[in-house]
């Protein structure tokens, strides 16, 4: 009598679970806002590569070195050229030439326009009375539970106590991008569920990358000191791996994520902030 072959139930079950998890990850992370935002990162950025792997997207970097920061920059069509700074600051001098780029609100407005949402209001409006109707209710939730209510594409509007505004976009978590505790490393293994934010701001890494670009394309221009990057939010970074010292005298602590400087974004004492889910009316 012939023996019956047993069906490979465990293997089939494992395959089914992996397919379900993969589908869940795709539905949870993939969105037009991230398609646009992540394309502004530099070539080889681990979050851009992971996004493609996890979601099945085929997004590539628009600019080899990433989208640079330029105060009051709002035109994507100018990126890849050089332009004169119209104002002076610690790291931008009026009348001198720099790689054309975007500032924080220019970046998020472009992302929203590109994804069909239209231009969102000014940061001051999002933080004001008129912005209350767009607020995401995060009361009672610690940073490691914000993923329960936030959606990729939500905004974090900030007014600094020291003056000035900043705006960032929620991009998911390390876990959503497929990072395991082992891959993330000892210092990040307990931070897999903290929010990741993509934004355009000061970051000295851009200076190094754009130095070559300037030499090849505009030798008389200055290098940029910032651009689009991914940061982690909700931790004090007391165990950080290092710090970036920017020309504007700000210091960015970072974790080393497989060679990528995952900078830490935090709120200071007295800063005002609001999570926003804006939709064009």
Tell me the per-residue pLDDT of 9-64, one tens digit each, with 9 for 90 and over. Answer: 444 443 343 344 444 444 489 999 999 999 999 999 999 999 999 999 999 999 99
Note whether residue 110 is domain-resident. Answer: yes
CA distances from 143 to 95, 140, 194 (A): 42, 10, 6
What pLDDT, in 10s, does the model give residues 241-260? 999 998 878 899 999 999 99
Note whether residue 24 is domain-resident. Answer: no
**Average predicted confidence (pLDDT) for the chain:** 88
Task: Quote the CA–CA distance of 75 and 92 in Å, as a whole number.
Answer: 18
Three-state secondary structure call for residue 46:
helix
Note whether residue 21 is domain-resident. Answer: no
Q: Is the pTM of this model over 0.85?
A: yes
Task: Provide the token pair at 77.
Answer: 């069509």
Note whether residue 7 is domain-resident. Answer: no
For the purposes of burial, counting CB atoms within 10 Å of the CB of 100, is it exposed (0-12), middle (13-18) or buried (19 or more)?
buried
Note whether residue 49 is domain-resident. Answer: yes
Note whether residue 14 is domain-resident. Answer: no
Which secondary structure element, helix H or strand E, spans residue 93, and what is its range? Answer: none
pLDDT at residue 162 in the model: 86
Residue 233's closest CA among 162, 147, 161, 151? 147
Residues 83/218, Cβ–Cβ less than 8 Å: no
For the segment 122-137, the average pLDDT, to the nearest whole number, is: 96
pLDDT at residue 188 in the model: 97
Note whether residue 265 is domain-resident. Answer: yes
What pLDDT, in 10s, does the model give residues 187-221? 999 999 999 999 999 999 999 899 988 988 877 88
Note whether residue 91 is domain-resident. Answer: yes
pLDDT band at 6 (very low <50, low <70, confident <90, very high): very low
Partner residues linked to 230 by β-bridges = 198
Partner residues linked to 276 by β-bridges = 135, 155
DSSP assigned state of 135: B
Is pLDDT at 91 greater than 90 in this prediction? no
Q: Which domain holds residue 243?
A: 30-276
Is pLDDT at 106 greater than 90 in this prediction? yes
- Pick the residue with more confidence: 65 or 27? 65
Residue 239's closest CA among 203, 185, 195, 174? 185
pLDDT at residue 7 in the model: 44
Report how many domains make up the chain: 1
């Amino acid at each position: 009598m012939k023996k019956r072959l047993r069906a490979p139930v465990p293997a089939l079950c494992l395959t089914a679970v992996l397919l379900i998890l993969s589908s869940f990850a795709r539905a949870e992370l993939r969105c037009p806002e991230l398609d646009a935002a992540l394309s502004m990162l530099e070539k080889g950025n681990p979050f851009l590569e992971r996004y493609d792997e996890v979601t099945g997207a085929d997004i590539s970097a628009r600019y080899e070195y990433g989208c640079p920061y330029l105060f009051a920059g709002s035109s994507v069509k100018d990126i890849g050229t050089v332009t004169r700074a119209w104002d002076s600051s610690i790291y931008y001098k009026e009348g001198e030439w720099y790689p054309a780029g975007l500032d924080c609100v220019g970046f998020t407005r472009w992302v929203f326009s590109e994804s069909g949402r239209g231009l969102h209001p000014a940061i001051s409006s999002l933080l004001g009375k008129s912005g209350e109707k767009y607020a995401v209710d995060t009361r009672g939730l610690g940073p490691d539970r914000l993923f329960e209510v936030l959606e990729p594409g939500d905004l974090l509007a900030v007014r600094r106590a020291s003056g000035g505004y900043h705006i960032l976009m929620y991009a998911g978590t390390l876990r959503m991008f497929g990072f395991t505790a082992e891959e993330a490393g000892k210092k990040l293994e307990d931070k897999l569920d903290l929010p990741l934010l993509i934004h355009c701001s000061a970051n000295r890494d851009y200076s190094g990358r754009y130095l070559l670009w300037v030499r090849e394309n505009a030798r008389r221009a200055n290098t940029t000191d910032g651009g689009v990057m991914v940061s982690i939010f909700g931790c004090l970074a007391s165990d950080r791996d290092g710090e970036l010292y920017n020309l504007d005298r700000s210091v960015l602590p970072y974790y080393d994520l497989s060679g990528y400087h995952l900078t830490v974004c935090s709120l200071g004492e007295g800063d005002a902030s609001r999570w926003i889910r804006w939709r064009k009316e």
